[in-house]
Chain A
Amino acid sequence: MNARRLRTSLRGWGGVGAMAVVCALAAVFALLLPVSQSREDGGTGADGQGVAQGSQAKAEKCPDPQNQSLSPDSGPQDGVNVQRIKEKGFLTVGVDQNSYRFGYRDPNSTSKKAQLEGFDIDLVHAIADEILGEKDAEVHFQAIPTSERIPAIQRGDVDMVVRTMTINCDRLELVAFSSPYFETGQQVLAPKKSDIKGYDETLAGQRICSASGSIALDKLKADLGSVIPKSADISTVVPNQLDCLVRLQLGEVDAVVTDGALAASQAAQDPTVELKGEPFTDEYYGVAMKKGATDLIRRVNQILVDYRKADWQKSYDTWLAGTLGKGDGPPPVQYK
């Protein structure tokens, strides 16, 4: 009886339904593919400069910079640095206000206090709540420019920086990082209608934009004539990755290469563009703290362990799923 019903339904609407399911699965798969490997350094093009230098140094100096953080269990989590934050009663964090969906200040906000929002900001609130042990713990956001990220930590102006900051070897010499909280990689962004399919031969004869001093530009230069066709025009180099979207909208270029997270942030501002193909590099974002503040680093890593369990996905869905797709969760963690 059941078998017959199944057969009839398969013959009728079931067939259509099954095909719909297959289509949906295909669509999800297609969305997941670019997403799973698509993230990178956030913030601004200026950040790319540091990243670029870092990535070059990476190969020589340290193998996996994202796996150099302290394990939460390797020592005390409640030392002098954590105590100091508890005593003053609020957390001071350096954030970005220019990265849409990561750390961004809405210019139309009418509230007296600068309203910041995004994936990084959610993480900051989680860390503050945990360290200070209360809901909606007080956070003093400091919207620092890219160039001030490391000096601000070293001077002690901020307790930590959560600002789409890629973990790399150069920076590891100056500051300490938490375990990675976001994985990203360089990716191609192009209009939905475009024939470009990814970082491949479909870029033939296309004008490609990248930010000066960025990993994207280094990769494009290196891969021109091998991975991507020689006919690709990579001469458009702009000060900031967001400028590439300007050029794209004005029809001055056909595609943009930047890290997936920033590409997603661009796509969120223009519904007619999308990420094409898979990311072709691997980069990780981490929370930066003062070197030697081991208790705080362990504490943040502990908080991240919990954060990754559920809140991470919630924040991801709010800010990034719209352009990055469902994704496959937080990056894997390995300690030193």
Chain B
Amino acid sequence: MTYQQKGGAAPPGAPAPTMPAVPPQAPPPGPQVRSAVPDTGPPRRTAWAEGVDQLRAAATTEPGRLRIIGAVLALLVVAFGAVTAWEMTDRSAAADDVLHSSQPLSADAAEIYRSLADANTAASSGFLAGGQETKASRDLYEKDINNAAEKLVTAAANSEPGSASEKTITKLNRMLPEYKGLVERARANNRQGFPLGGAYLRYANSKMQVMLEDAEHLYTVENQRLRADYDDATPYPWIAIGAGVLAIGGLAWAQHRNYRRTNRVLNHGLVAATAASTVVLLWLVVGHSVARSGLNDSYDNAVRSLNTLNDARIASLKARGNENLTLVARGAETRTEGTGANKKTLDVFDEDYETQMKALTTKLAAAEGLADDSAGMKPVKAATANMKVWKERHKEARTQDNLGNYQGALDRVIGSNDKKPTGECFENVDTALATAIKHEETEFKQAAGDGRGAMNGLVVGAAVLAVLAAAGAVLGIGRRLSEYR
């Protein structure tokens, strides 16, 4: 009560009950307070020094202190809300990117890669069938080429101008018609019965190998982008959490001080502010934890599986392409290994087939380890089983070819199913892997969507609640201040 006059002197400048936070910062009350105490001051002082002086002066009186406390609390709460909104905006934008941009783009890149490899395989199968090339095989080839071209357009639209990805896409766009031209020439010569057709197909294949390398690069870059988006979306918002703890701590301290001074337990405004801040903090921690676990789950259980499955599928496509080309080339491309008595002449395509089969075996084993449910496990197991049969049949086909029974080898590779061809196994592997990929993609959408959903409303909610909490804090302090009137 002793400060009543002074307290009365301060308020006129500002509507104290509603906005007690403003006074310490607002100039009008300042000069009055200052002029009330030391009439004469140093003539030239900085605004900062004056502000500090004012605060110091205000801190000597209880209403002044209350104003400062109110201002600080409001600031803390608003800062908490702002930091929360800022950090969560970043994270939810990154999570959005994961769900709607980088994963689909990564899937697109995988699709370009797969379509190209598939087109190459279809071209070689059709070639082996010669004049008896089926409509299905022709259609598949065309579909793959169209698919790759379409996805390249999407990829081009999403790549940054001047980036390495853009250059790769441009190169792929340029090479695709070149490749197609060579395949057409191969077909035309093959139809005439010229072995030159095989040479053209091998040339087309070597072009495709360059394209596949580029497509793989594109796929890797997109995967890195996806990983980076995950890394942006999942870390805990430590600054916001720290700010929240600070704001709630401040509010608690203010209430404790209030209780000590007045013996009153509850100050409605402060309690409301504390409640609102606590809700924001809990929402932030729980919401982000849920989002994070959803996203991590989508990465660990879906994206990693997807990558492995895509790798496996491409390995199987490459293996199939090489298996076909071994018969197209008929020993036209060889490589010698070793010297002297150990010198061996190896068929380039047969060797490539073995390499890709090894890759397929490894990737399928990895995919089996990564599959987290029976729906994901089943197709992978089916693919593995078919791959084993494929390997056995391939061995038979090679034996026949090496014995000179070319027709027999051909039957065992592209023949009708009663001849037990490797083509049947390859198709089964491909279908099984496609099923597995579809399953993992659904899982991804589910988990990442859940994760993204947990962040929903957090930004707006935090902002609104923080404003409410700040208002509560100000009102609560104002309630106390009004007692000094």
Contact = CB atoms under 8 A, between A and B. Distances in A.
Q: Do A and B come from one complex?
A: yes
Interface of A: 44-46, 49, 94-95, 97-100, 104-108, 110, 112-114, 141-148, 152, 157-158, 239-240, 242-243, 245-246, 249, 266, 269-270
A242 B196 contact: yes
Given A45-B332, A239-B348, A144 B193 contact: no
A144 B401 CA distance: 7
Interface of B: 130-132, 185, 189-200, 202-203, 329-334, 336, 345-348, 401-407
Given A104-B195, A242-B196, A142 B331 contact: no
B406 A105 contact: yes
B199 A240 contact: yes
A145 B331 contact: yes
Given A44-B332, A98-B195, A148-B402, A107 B131 contact: yes
B334 A98 contact: no
Contacts, number: 106
User: Which secondary structure dominates where chain A touches chain B?
Assistant: mixed
A113 B345 CA distance: 28
B177 to A, nearest CB: 14
A142 B197 CA distance: 22
Contacts of B202: 239-240, 243
A106 B334 contact: no
B49 to A, nearest CB: 80
A243 B195 CA distance: 10
A107 B197 contact: yes
Nearest to B189: A269
Contact of A142 (B199, B329, B334, B405): B405
B130 A147 contact: no
Given A239-B348, A243-B203, A269 B402 contact: no
Counting from the closest, the 6 A-B pairs by CB-CB distance are: A142-B404, A145-B331, A147-B345, A107-B130, A239-B333, A108-B131
A270 B347 contact: no
Contact of A246 (B199, B345, B404): B199
Nearest to A144: B404
Nearest to B128: A107
B377 to A, nearest CB: 41
A113 B131 CA distance: 16
Given A98-B331, A145-B331, A243-B202, A269 B403 contact: no
A46 B333 contact: yes
Given A145-B347, A239-B332, A240-B333, A98 B404 contact: no
A269 B405 contact: no
A98 B198 contact: yes
A11 to B, nearest CB: 50
Nearest to A240: B332
A246 B194 CA distance: 12
A99 to B, nearest CB: 8
B330 A145 contact: yes
B406 A243 contact: no
Contacts of B195: 98-100, 104, 242, 269
A106 B330 contact: no
Nearest to A143: B406
A249 B196 CA distance: 11
Given A98-B330, A147-B346, 9 more contacts: A45-B333, A107-B131, A141-B404, A142-B405, A145-B347, A147-B331, A242-B195, A243-B199, A246-B199
Nearest to B347: A145
Given A106-B193, A246-B200, A98 B332 contact: yes
A44 B333 CA distance: 8
Contacts of B329: 240
A3 B156 CA distance: 87
Contacts of B336: 49
Contact of B406 (A45, A114, A242): A114
